[in-house]
Amino acid sequence: MNHQQTRVSPSGLTRRTALVGLGAGGIGVALAARGGIATAQEAQSDAMANHPIIGVWMVAAPLGPALAVFSADGTNIQGVPTAQAGPQGVTFTGAQVGTWEPDGDRRVHFTSVQLHTDANGTFTGSVTIDGHPRVSDDGQSFIDDAPETTVTVRDAANAIVAVIPGPPAPPATGVRMGVGAPGFPEGMPAAGTPTS
């Protein structure tokens, strides 16, 4: 009778057992890493959902009033006046649409893009804003006076034609809007308007 002999390594492991063990260990490491990623994503999601920037804001910006919405999913939409004067005449503008992420307990970094057209509806370029608003301790206002705030202007071919660095003067400020409280600053009564 011819018996096959099985070689056993000194540690008692066959090559096949070792390979199976390595494969299972690799899967375990991959699953652990994936769990770490999920945990990091959950932490980021919690930081966004609980950030004081969440909500709707009346913004006083250097070019005039704007409305800003910061959602818990990281989206940011800002409504601005639909036309503005520029070096090449009147430009028609769309809403600024973008994303945001926490940049501290009360500060965020947002990037939004606004598309521009001329009076004929021809695309003339875009403006990208990288802002860094910081919400007040009471959560009812913000200011964007961060030095890393920039405005990038692109032409219709997406070539950068200007980068405006630093905080605008005056800086953008926001007031949280609420039901019955649209966030407009109190104005002076117009001449001839009764005050009583």
Domain ranges of the chain: 13-50, 55-176
Evaluate if pTM is beyond 0.75. no
pLDDT value for 64:
84
Segment 128-154 mean pLDDT: 95
Point out the least confidently predicted range of 10-14, 47-51, 102-106.
10-14
- CA-CA distance, 60 to 183, in Å (whole number)? 10
Contact 162, 152 (CB under 8 A): yes
Q: How many CB atoms lie within 10 A of CB 76?
A: 21
Burial class (CB within 10 angstroms; exposed 0-12, middle 13-18, buried 19+) of 56? middle
Say whether 157 sits in a helix, a strand or coil: coil
CA R_g for the chain:
28
- Select, from the ranges 4-8, 29-33, 184-188, the one with the highest average predicted confidence (pLDDT): 184-188
d(CA 27, CA 18): 14
pLDDT in tens, 38-86: 454 555 567 788 999 999 999 998 878 999 999 999 999 999 888 877 7
Q: Which of these CATH numbers, 3.30.310, 3.30.420, 2.40.128, 2.40.160, describes 55-176?
A: 2.40.128
